Amino acid sequence: MISASSLLPAEIETVAELRELYRAAESRAARLRLLSAGGHALALAEPATIWAVVQDCAERLAYFLGHARAEVSLDGKGLPIPRPGQDGVVLGRIAIGSLAGLEDIADSEDREAARLLVELIGIALDRVNREDERTRILAALREREQRLEWLVGTIFSAQEDERRRVSQELHDGVAQTATALLRLLEGSSAAGLADLPGAERARLAGIARDLVRELRAIIGGLRPTLLDDLGLEAALRALGETLEQDGFAVTVTLPDTALDWPAHVESALFRVAQEAVANIRKHAGGPCGVEVALAAGDGVTRQLTVRDFGRGPNDAAASEGSEAEGNHVGIDVMRERMAAIGGQLDWQGGTDGVTVIATLAVEA
């Protein structure tokens, strides 16, 4: 065994250097452990746990620097936690002993390790703050969207109620008066009418007949009595018949058994079909084949499809100017009506016509 007295000066220097290197290696390993453990914990931190993780990292840093405890706060004294970037914003402070800043750490390598850990804490706090802010913004947007959907639904309901009221007043008032006038002209029994020439009476009767027809068409457009009396299927069939009167070849496909539709859903689906038919009249380029289908689908969804085999939206006459703008407005209105009842609308246009598909989940 070699005694301490027998060591040569060169050998003593070698042992001291080895011990110094060992201590330096241990210090570097400690710094790496500090940064590795802290960085891993901060990367996994969530809004609910971020401050507990930051406190744990601060305590690790205090132990590393030879102190018993650390305290994290939003303000006060201690090492500042900077926000990433050059704006100089401080997100919080870490109180460790009497340290007021990183410059108070004597060892340069310890100071650099502490700086890196504090920067990692700042990055994690900024990330979580941004995520939290994004979550709040998304929640506010969802709430606003729900309010807008409710408002649109309320507007559509009020519109349907007003249409029903106006159609009823027209039916009970002006239409009845026009019908009475027509009967009077056709009978020519009233005083003074019998003295009119036959051709004049026939002309006046024709005017009255056209007035009654127009009033009935307006009343039907405002609020079809079939929709209230017999339901959506009958109203769709009647809508197809009006197209047939204009020369279109219409096929209406309905479920074998009547579906149970809430009144507001029937109104929305009928208005979608009505708008689709109006667009067919304006943009299909004349009489063509038209398919109107109402289906229960897979039992979970219900679907209304209106398809025409006209010229399609790619025709120059339908793709320029106010016609196209009006068509887009009609599509937006259909989409809003479906969104108001919890459904969705798909509009597909091509050279072989346009397909409008309104889908509604049963639970909606």
Higher pLDDT residue, 345 or 144? 345
Sequence ranges of the chain with CATH classification 3.30.565.10: 231-364
pLDDT at 322: 42
Q: Is the pLDDT of residue 226 over 60?
A: yes
Asked whether the beta carbons of 65 and 57 are under 8 A apart, the reply is no
Neighbours of 30 (CB within 10 A): 14
Q: Is 69 helix (H, G, I), strand (E, B) or coil?
A: coil
Whether the per-residue pLDDT at 160 is higher than 90: the answer is no
- Please name the fold of domain 4-134: Beta-Lactamase (3.30.450)
Estimate the crossing angle of helix 263-283 against helix 321-340, to 10 degrees.
170
Cβ atoms within 10 A of the Cβ of 242, count?
16
Q: Give the CA angle between residues 118, 123, 127 to the nearest 5°.
A: 145
Q: Kindly give the pairing relationship between strand 79-82 and strand 90-95.
A: antiparallel
The answer on pLDDT for 222 being more than 80 is no
Q: Phi, psi (5° rounding) for residue 355?
A: -125, 130
Query: Which is higher by pLDDT, 279 or 363?
Result: 279
Q: What is the pLDDT, as a whole number, of residue 211?
A: 73
The number of C-alpha atoms within 13 Å of 255 and in the hemisphere containing its C-beta is 17
| Pairing status of strand 289-295 against strand 249-253 | parallel
pLDDT at residue 319 in the model: 40
The single residue listed with the structure tokens 């018993």 is: 68
Calpha distance 259→266 (Å, rounded): 10
Q: Are 269 and 358 spatial neighbours (Cβ–Cβ below 8 Å)?
A: yes
Q: For residue range 316-354, what is the model confidence (pLDDT) as tens digits? A: 344 444 444 445 667 888 888 888 888 899 998 888 899
The pLDDT tens digits for 266-305 are 888 888 998 899 889 888 888 999 999 998 766 667 889 9
| 253, pLDDT greater than 80 | yes
Is 80 exceeded by the pLDDT of residue 119? yes
| pLDDT on residue 346 | 93
The CATH 3.30.450 portion of the chain extends over 4-134
Residue 89: both structure tokens together: 């914003």
Element (H, E) at 329: helix 321-340
DSSP state of 343: -
Give tens-digit pLDDT for 11-68.
656 877 777 777 778 888 888 998 999 999 999 998 889 999 999 999 999 998 889 8
- Domain 231-364, classified CATH 3.30.565.10, yes or no: yes
pLDDT of 87 > 60? The answer is yes
Query: Residue holding tokens 């969207």?
Result: 145
Report how far residue 331's alpha carbon sits from residue 342's, in angstroms, rounded to the nearest whole number: 17
Residue 325 or residue 152, greater confidence: 152
Where does the pLDDT of residue 260 fall: very low under 50, low under 70, confident under 90, or very high at 90 and above? confident
Mean pLDDT, range 208-236, rounded to an integer: 72
Q: What is the mean predicted confidence (pLDDT) over 65-88?
A: 88
Provide the mean pLDDT of the chain.
Answer: 79
